[in-house]
């Protein structure tokens, strides 16, 4: 029996709330860390240990998420994984040791990666490209609201531990909601479909060239996106002598352009093939990155806005197209691989830009972004030319070779 329109609408609302919730943890850490490090007597740079720990969990989770969805179903995976995140956040709040914080960070990463993969898989199978873009815009809402929660706790006289209790409680409420709706996520034979898809050997999926093209796109695309988010304030201050406040505002403008683009661009391009939206987006990303290499502040700022707007629909739209292009059996694993590749890219490419900037100048960072954008254009062209044929690629790769 197919799901009712009301049932799907309810799960859509739950999915929006879930995307807000998974935006919380990393964003909150930036506000909490100055106080956390004083509590544990750690240097400022030790936040990197937390990021590596959570990133490792995130990466591993994405790799095994396909099998986990097949074994547990989407609903139970979301419920259990969100409980992992809540437990890790409560762990932050009560742990007496910095090293136990790292254990909690791995748990948060494992849970967040599984939630990210599960939600993207479900949304790609059930929702339109427009809704998928809106969902990812709400991830940005969560990333924006999280720091406000911690700041509000500080303003009320609370500590960072209290702030994490508040955030963890909100995530726990999300986990309870997932447990309460567990069967709805896998109705209509969806769990059986996922089990069948999970039975496709991972080695078979990794043997498909188009899967690797998608993995590489997410690696590079998310890496250059993170480069803009990480280094914009530094470039504005170091290259254009902006004040700390002005530099911070422009970093916020980038994320604002991303959120705005994910809400507005799918509406403005409803008559446009989603694959063309991605194609035009990659060209805009290249143009924006190239403008950011210039020495005039206003040109850099214009390029930054263009980069953010053009980047906005790429991640959610490519996720939506994954099951269309590759078929459910392959996309179940591929979406997890894409999440993992994005995590590695986010850690690797901004670091590369920073190393080159130290040895040359800050202009090296937008040049790395420009080169990355060119690679994304090339990979997207290959993907579109091979995947979007009259006969769907998924028809020939639904079962193992």
Which pLDDT score, from 0 to 100, does residue 397 have? Answer: 40
155-204 pLDDT, tens digit per residue, is 899 999 999 999 999 999 999 999 998 888 866 545 444 445 445 666 77
Which pLDDT score, from 0 to 100, does residue 119 have? Answer: 84
CB 67 within 8 A of CB 152: no
Which pLDDT score, from 0 to 100, does residue 191 have? Answer: 47
Summary mean pLDDT of the chain: 84
Q: What stretches in the chain show pLDDT beneath 70?
A: 1-8, 26-27, 44-45, 186-202, 388-401
How far apart CA 311 and CA 307 sit, in angstroms, is 6
Which pLDDT score, from 0 to 100, does residue 187 have? Answer: 61
211-227 pLDDT, tens digit per residue, is 999 999 999 999 999 88
Q: Does domain 205-397 have CATH number 3.40.50.740?
A: no
Q: Exposed (0-12), middle (13-18) or buried (19+): which is 314, by Cβ within 10 Å? A: buried
Instruction: Decide if 5-199 and 205-397 have a common fold.
Output: yes
Please state which CATH number belongs to domain 5-199.
1.20.1250.20
Which pLDDT score, from 0 to 100, does residue 45 have? Answer: 67
Which pLDDT score, from 0 to 100, does residue 220 have? Answer: 97
Domain ranges within the chain, ordered by starting residue? 5-199, 205-397
Which pLDDT score, from 0 to 100, does residue 8 have? Answer: 58
């Amino acid at each position: 029996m197919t799901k009712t329109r009301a049932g799907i609408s309810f799960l859509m609302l739950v999915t929006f709330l879930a995307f807000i919730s998974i935006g919380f943890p990393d964003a909150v850490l930036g506000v909490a860390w100055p106080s956390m490090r004083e509590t544990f007597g750690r240097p400022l740079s030790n936040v990197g240990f937390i990021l590596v720990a959570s990133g490792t969990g995130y990466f591993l989770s994405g790799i095994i998420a396909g099998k986990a969805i097949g074994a547990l179903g989407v609903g139970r995976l979301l419920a259990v994984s969100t409980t992992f995140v809540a437990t890790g956040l409560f762990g932050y709040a009560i742990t007496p040791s910095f090293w136990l914080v790292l254990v909690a960070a791995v748990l948060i990463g494992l849970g967040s990666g599984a939630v990210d993969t599960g939600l993207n898989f479900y949304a790609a199978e059930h929702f339109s490209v427009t809704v998928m873009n809106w969902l990812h815009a709400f991830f940005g809402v969560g990333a924006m609201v999280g720091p406000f929660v911690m700041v509000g706790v500080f303003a009320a006289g609370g500590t960072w531990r209290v702030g994490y209790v508040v955030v963890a409680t909100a995530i726990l409420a999300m986990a309870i909601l997932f447990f309460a709706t567990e069967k709805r996520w896998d109705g209509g034979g969806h769990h059986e479909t996922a089990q069948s898809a999970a039975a496709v050997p991972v080695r078979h999926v990794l043997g498909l060239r188009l899967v690797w093209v998608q993995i590489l796109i997410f690696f590079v695309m998310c890496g250059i996106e993170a480069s803009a988010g990480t280094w914009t304030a530094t470039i504005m201050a170091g290259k254009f002598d902006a004040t700390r406040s002005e530099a911070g505002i422009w970093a916020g403008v980038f994320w604002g352009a991303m959120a705005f683009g994910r809400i507005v661009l799918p509406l403005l391009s409803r008559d446009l093939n989603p694959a063309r939206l991605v194609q035009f987006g990659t060209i805009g990303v290249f143009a924006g990155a190239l403008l950011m290499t210039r020495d005039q502040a206003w040109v850099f700022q214009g390029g930054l806005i263009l980069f953010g707007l053009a980047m906005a629909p790429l991640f959610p739209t490519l996720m939506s197209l994954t099951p269309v292009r590759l078929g459910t059996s392959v996309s179940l694993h591929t979406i997890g691989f894409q999440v993992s590749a994005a995590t590695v890219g986010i850690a690797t490419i901004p670091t590369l830009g920073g190393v080159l900037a130290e040895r040359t100048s800050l202009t090296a960072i937008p040049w790395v972004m420009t080169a990355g954008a060119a690679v994304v254009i090339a990979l997207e062209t290959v993907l579109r030319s091979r995947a979007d044929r009259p006969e769907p690629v998924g028809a020939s790769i639904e079962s193992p070779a």
